[in-house]
Structure 1
């Protein structure tokens, strides 16, 4: 595999914590410590558009699949719904005094992971809180949804992954997954496996159909794994780490395919916070504490 750095997007004044797909393949959104939400165009690197600005850090962005509104998690405040074409806020929900770490959608529900250990279930049509799922005193950091098994997986700072029923919200299973905080989780494209990673720098693979039995335990990075993401064709996995590197893994064998770092590929100089595969020529995006977003072509 060859890796080529195509572009660098700059302009954020603070670390870039999160990335989200845009309404079309060549667009994406970024946000971070400066409270700015920016829309970028992969075919026009010079064309960054400020679509929202909030007075606090943003860790979570989520584009609602039917309304097309961008849900922005403003730390210590709540959710802002942004019309990214008009560049205006159309609704907001004062939700919490806690940090907002993740937002995921399923049908008419938005699941919001909060630093006080709550997962808030919000009705997306009426923008009201339906339920608080409180299963830990420590932060709910990341969420993954399995529509096949109708399960919601949540990773927490108490090192545990908890599985909830998507319809009844009942706690179904507790997985003592890691030796430190769980920062990122994702189901494989066929929902056969759940992948988890976090502060202990291990990448773990759990077999969903075998009651989440552990299949692989990989010492994947030197320092914390901040995020993992499957490629759009499901063949590769990218992991982003505090060790300043991105690693590319074979999604079938979990073998390491490529290390993308500063010395070899002019990668990031500080912690890599998020990775996002796009459908635009299968390009991979990465964002960092160095306030930039890199665009990678993998061949």
Structure 2
């Protein structure tokens, strides 16, 4: 189902951020070596350094011709991919920016930070519209429901907080994880929300009522990413335990484990980010071993 295709080297330090590019066949990475890098899937190689940054890159998000770059310093940079230049750089938070999502229907974007707040910003003029005090500590991950009505925030205190995207009112506080929540994703079909945490558990919450339906002890250590295949009924999870796991999104069955400890190719250190290529042909993973590994979907 998934097989190792190529391990790409080039970063000198751990890699924390990964995002697809607007143009097919390219993607971006950022990490602890103070630069945002563009890669080519066609050539399976480094393409170019897009921009230097002052501190580590913790989050990347691409929307249309813009690449949002969240840094450890709390700064947010916006790189215009058509102009090939940084068009904005500002202090979005007092502490690191861990996640960024856009809400095109509202012409807004959200930033989550270690300072416990979420910034709601205008996509039109980049002005701050609201700053929501979500938690007393880090807000690590953001997910937006497929219908665009709700947003989920994964927090260091072990809670998932669900907000109404119409007026940003708090709807639910979900408490099941015993340690910080490190990843959240809505199923594309809108049937459930998945959360993963430092407790190595995957929790499945039904929609629209957000009732706990299933708990799976999915990994040995923190679950740092959950990514649904763009067209097939599968999702991948990654972990500090250096493994990648492929699950059925309908039956929640474990179909594949990719790990050097299972005698396959794999990462030698914590895996920090995972995405699928837009066409679903490749799974991309990256982490503390400084590598980007490209896995090919093999039916």
User: Where on the TM-score scale, by shorter chain, does this alignment land: which range?
Assistant: over 0.9
1:234 Cα offset (Å): 4.0
Q: How many residues align?
A: 295
1:148 Cα offset (Å): 1.6
Contact 1:75 1:97 in 2 (8 A): no
Equivalent residue in structure 2 for 1:212, among 187, 191, 210: 210
Number of the residue aligned with 1:154: 153
Number of the residue aligned with 2:85: 88
Equivalent runs, 1:126-275 vs 2, <5 Å:
126-148=125-147, 150-209=149-208, 211-263=209-261, 264-275=263-274
Q: 2-side partners of 1:76 and 1:115: how far apart? A: 10
1:14 Cα offset (Å): 0.9
Number of the residue aligned with 1:119: 118
Moved more, 11-20 or 40-49: 40-49
- Do the aligned partners of residues 221 and 281 (structure 1) sit closer, same or farther apart at CA in structure 2, a change above 3 Å counting? closer
Equivalent runs, 1:5-24 vs 2, <5 Å:
5-24=4-23
- C-alpha RMSD of matched pairs (Å): 1.3
Q: 2-side partners of 1:79 and 1:153: how far apart? A: 21
Q: 1-side partners of 2:148 and 2:87: how far apart? A: 34
Contact 1:26 1:280 in 2 (8 A): no
Deviations 1:253-276 (A, max 9, x none): 111000001142221000011111
Moved more, 269-278 or 91-100: 91-100
Number of the residue aligned with 2:67: 70
Deviations 1:6-25 (A, max 9, x none): 11111111111111011123
Q: 1-side partners of 2:15 and 2:91: how far apart? A: 24
Contact 2:184 2:226 in 1 (8 A): yes
Taking structure 1 as the reference length, what is the TM-score of the superposition? Answer: 0.95
Q: 2-side partners of 1:171 and 1:281: how far apart? A: 34
- Do the aligned partners of residues 112 and 234 (structure 1) sit closer, same or farther apart at CA in structure 2, a change above 3 Å counting? farther
Q: 1-side partners of 2:280 and 2:177: how far apart? A: 35
